[in-house]
């Protein structure tokens, strides 16, 4: 197998691109580093393509190793033929390879293996050869103490053939093909009477759908129902079609006396061995595909969530709402530092509403708070009403928003939170997380296990190892795309920088505490455990805004500083000019007029690198998230009773799933925009149009107060 060529064909890129990228990966370079700083080598492959390339490389190398292993195992049994060897070499998937190996795999004792032990294998092969005139008479030759009758001999021979047919790769493919294209997933209630625990699966109590059409989210829902013993699930189909196809392959002489024997063996093979095995395979395949899809949607939502625009230059009051234990209040300044805490009891059972308003008003006034953020958990709705009254009666310029607090409790009880705020109560730490995730979503949300952030669908029902890997890649990609200010970053943020592990990230924090702050990137080389390779991988993604070298506040990699200085020299400037706001505008204008191709030729450098350096120098210290729209701020609150069909409102997208998007419109429950109501054109998936954090205009379609359901549309009708 030529792995390089195969990947190039699959990804539709040049062989040379694959070769160079594989070489860089094998040398231990990280994907963000390769994508950003090795564009000449990869032919400017982006991070998504490089990750796909890396995944396929891993799979195909594993396939090649398994091919060698299977070849060796069959050879050990003295059963390796040229045909088998060719088939093994040509296998392009692990499924194909395992089908080939299946007949040779050691098995526990089966009816077939017991029959072989009794010496009936030759009889079975004679039946399959279809050359016998009188098979009953031939069976007489196999009667022994262990096989006392001809019926026993026949039964044993057919058991051997049934297993042989079930292990045959071509026959398995026939069964697999028909089951996939003609089979139906059938669901029934596991119990006669539904209970409160399984009512969520009621729609599947008498349900069926074609195997090849069932969408991923229904597969995950059905799997959960089966796991919770609410559903019985099976694949049903017309077995006669498959059995007939098998007979055409096996029975070559219709009038042979052994034809009825073979028909019996084929039917037994399918019903007892092949059908259950293929059903397991297809259920596993459906689950694997559904999990991959679910993970990809979670990844897209997570990317959108943590890449939301930071709310800069505001002092923020964060509220972790509750009833009996009170609402925990914190105030953070524009740098994220904690400046005040309090607990108020406006709700039942204390009902100290006026006192809570007074306390909040004093905090807003004393700390010049301009934004309140409320966690969306218990008592959120009631707390919104409190803040709305605070704005109306006391601070009309104040605004608020409701923040998804998923994961705040996980963070508040973590070792990181204890290290940051050792003297604070767990609930106060949660309020700090709620406030900070508005100030800088990326910096705060990286402190939380991505699986706890709650922007997926059925995230607890998918392969957790694959989910963790994918979400980790999303966080890594976002962190390195934005860049990290090394002098105020947490270890949780630093560990996602290309090349850095948690121990090295912690070592950077400790080194920073020793020296006060980093003045230049090169000081990283003195950090314990941060060697030359690690420095190469991470340096370009770390920023120093108040350092000695202005280039340290750009995405320009230290290895390209000489080139960056040459480019600045061409427009008669020096790096120090990047610190002068008036000169930056002039530099940007001059850089815009440069032709990267000509500059690259003149300076004997790569054009992609020159292009990136020009873009970086034009906007020193730029955060790419600042170009995104801010979150939706509110000053008043609606109730479900206030809603009327036809109302047009603004809302914020909370979650995007296969069948639509949930939009927060300022009432207790998020409304659902079904996929059919997102836009006038056909879309395969809502993520083609929407992402988490989008501010959208919606119209109320339906209101179901008892169920707490709200139907929305983005296809506005006046």
- The Cα–Cα gap between 618 and 595 comes to 14
Q: Would you identify the CATH topology of the domain 111-295?
A: Tex N-terminal region-like (1.10.3500)
| pLDDT value at 399 more than 80 | yes
Average pLDDT over residues 78-99: 93
CATH for 315-439 is 3.30.420.140
pLDDT band at 106 (very low <50, low <70, confident <90, very high): confident
| C-beta separation of 83 from 77 below 8 A | no
Average pLDDT over residues 439-461: 83
| pLDDT value at 1 more than 70 | no
| pLDDT value at 91 more than 70 | yes
- Mean pLDDT computed over every residue of the chain: 92
pLDDT band at 456 (very low <50, low <70, confident <90, very high): low
| C-beta separation of 182 from 241 below 8 A | yes
- The Cα–Cα gap between 537 and 36 comes to 10
- The Cα–Cα gap between 222 and 204 comes to 8
Question: In degrees to the nearest 10, what's the CA dihedral of 128, 131, 133, 139?
Answer: -40
Question: In degrees to the nearest 10, what's the CA dihedral of 252, 258, 262, 268?
Answer: 170
Question: In degrees to the nearest 10, what's the CA dihedral of 82, 83, 88, 89?
Answer: 70
| pLDDT value at 227 more than 80 | yes
For 478-519, the pLDDT digits (tens) are 999 999 999 999 999 999 999 999 999 999 999 999 999 999
Q: Give which of 88, 81, 107 is closest to 160, Cα–Cα.
A: 107
pTM of the model: 0.85
Per-domain residue ranges of the chain? 3-104, 111-295, 315-439, 480-627, 640-713
Write down the pLDDT at residue 636.
79
| pLDDT value at 344 more than 70 | yes
- The Cα–Cα gap between 571 and 586 comes to 10
Q: Would you state the structure tokens that stand for residue 100, as one six-digit string?
A: 């080939």
Q: Would you identify the CATH topology of the domain 480-627?
A: DNA polymerase; domain 1 (1.10.150)
| pLDDT value at 362 more than 80 | yes
Q: Would you identify the CATH topology of the domain 640-713?
A: OB fold (Dihydrolipoamide Acetyltransferase, E2P) (2.40.50)
Average pLDDT over residues 685-705: 91
Q: Would you identify the CATH topology of the domain 3-104?
A: Arc Repressor Mutant, subunit A (1.10.10)
DSSP alpha helix (H) spans, 404-531: 408-412, 415-420, 426-439, 441-445, 464-482, 491-494, 502-515
Alpha-carbon distances, residue 619 vs 384, 448, 579, 612, 624 (angstroms): 39, 31, 11, 11, 10
């Amino acid at each position: 197998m030529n792995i390089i060529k195969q990947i190039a064909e699959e990804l539709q890129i040049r062989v040379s691109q694959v070769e160079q990228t594989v070489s860089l990966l094998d040398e231990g370079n990280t994907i963000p580093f390769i994508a950003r700083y090795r564009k000449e080598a990869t032919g400017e492959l982006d991070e998504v393509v490089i990750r796909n390339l890396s995944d396929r490389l891993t799979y195909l190398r594993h396939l090649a190793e398994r091919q060698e292993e299977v070849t060796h195992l069959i050879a050990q049994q003295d059963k390796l033929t040229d045909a088998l060897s060719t088939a093994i070499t040509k296998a392009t998937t692990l499924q194909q390879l395992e089908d080939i190996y299946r007949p040779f795999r050691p098995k526990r004792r089966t009816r077939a293996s017991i029959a072989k032990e009794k010496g009936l294998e030759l009889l079975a092969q004679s039946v399959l050869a279809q050359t016998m005139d009188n098979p009953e008479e031939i069976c007489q030759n196999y009667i022994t103490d262990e096989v006392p009758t001809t019926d026993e001999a026949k039964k044993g021979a057919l058991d051997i053939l049934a297993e042989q047919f079930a292990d045959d790769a071509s026959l398995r493919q026939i069964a697999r093909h028909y089951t996939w294209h003609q089979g139906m997933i059938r669901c029934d209630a596991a119990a006669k009477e539904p209970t409160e625990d399984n009512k969520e699966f009621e729609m599947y109590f008498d349900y069926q759908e074609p195997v090849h059409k069932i969408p991923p989210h229904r597969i995950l829902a059905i799997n959960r129902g089966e796991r919770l013993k609410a559903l019985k699930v099976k694949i049903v189909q017309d077995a006669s079609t498959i059995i007939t196809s098998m007979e055409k392959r096996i029975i070559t002489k219709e009038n042979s006396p052994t034809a009825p024997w073979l028909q019996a063996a084929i039917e037994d093979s399918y019903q007892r061995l092949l059908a259950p095995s293929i059903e397991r395979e297809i259920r596993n395949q459906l689950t694997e595909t559904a999990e991959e899809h679910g993970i990809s949607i979670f990844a897209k939502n997570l990317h959108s969530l943590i890449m939301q625009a930071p709310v800069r230059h505001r002092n923020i009051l964060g509220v972790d709402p509750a009833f009996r234990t009170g609402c925990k209040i914190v105030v953070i300044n524009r740098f994220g530092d904690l400046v005040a805490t309090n607990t108020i009891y406006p709700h039942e059972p204390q009902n100290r509403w006026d006192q809570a308003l007074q306390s909040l008003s004093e905090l807003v006034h004393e700390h010049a708070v301009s934004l309140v953020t409320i966690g969306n958990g218990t008592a959120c709705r009631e707390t919104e009403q409190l803040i709305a009254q605070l704005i109306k009666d006391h601070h009309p310029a104040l605004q608020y928003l409701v923040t998804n607090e998923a994961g705040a409790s996980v963070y508040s009880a973590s070792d990181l939170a204890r290290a940051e705020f050792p003297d604070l109560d767990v609930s106060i730490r949660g309020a700090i997380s709620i406030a900070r995730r508005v100030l800088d979503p990326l910096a705060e949300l990286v402190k939380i296990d991505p699986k706890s952030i709650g922007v997926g669908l059925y995230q607890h029902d998918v392969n957790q190892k694959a989910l963790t890997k994918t979400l980790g890649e999303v966080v890594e990609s976002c962190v390195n795309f934005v860049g990290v200010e090394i002098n105020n970053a947490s270890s949780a943020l630093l560990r996602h920088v290309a090349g850095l592990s948690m121990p090295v990230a912690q070592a950077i924090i400790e080194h920073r505490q020793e020296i006060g702050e980093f003045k230049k990137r090169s000081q990283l080389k003195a950090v314990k455990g941060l060697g030359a390779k690690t420095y190469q991988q991470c340096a370009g993604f770390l920023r120093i805004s108040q350092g000695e070298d202005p280039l340290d506040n750009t995405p320009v990699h230290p290895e390209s500083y000489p080139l960056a200085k040459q480019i600045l020299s061409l427009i008669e400037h020096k790096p120090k000019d990047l610190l002068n706001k008036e000169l930056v505008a002039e530099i940007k204008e001059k850089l815009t007029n440069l032709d990267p191709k000509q500059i690259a030729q003149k300076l004997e450098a790569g054009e992609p690198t020159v292009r990136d350096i020009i873009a970086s120098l034009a906007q020193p210290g730029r955060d790419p998230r600042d170009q995104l729209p801010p979150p939706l701020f509110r000053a008043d609150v609606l109730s479900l009773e206030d809603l009327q069909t036809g109302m047009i409102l603004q809302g914020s997208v909370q979650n995007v799933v296969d069948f639509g998007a949930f939009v927060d419109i300022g009432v207790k429950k998020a409304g659902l925009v079904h996929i059919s109501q997102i836009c006038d054109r056909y879309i395969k998936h809502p993520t083609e149009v929407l992402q988490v954090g989008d501010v959208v205009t919606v119209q109320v379609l339906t209101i179901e107060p008892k169920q707490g359901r709200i139907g929305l549309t983005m296809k506005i009708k006046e």
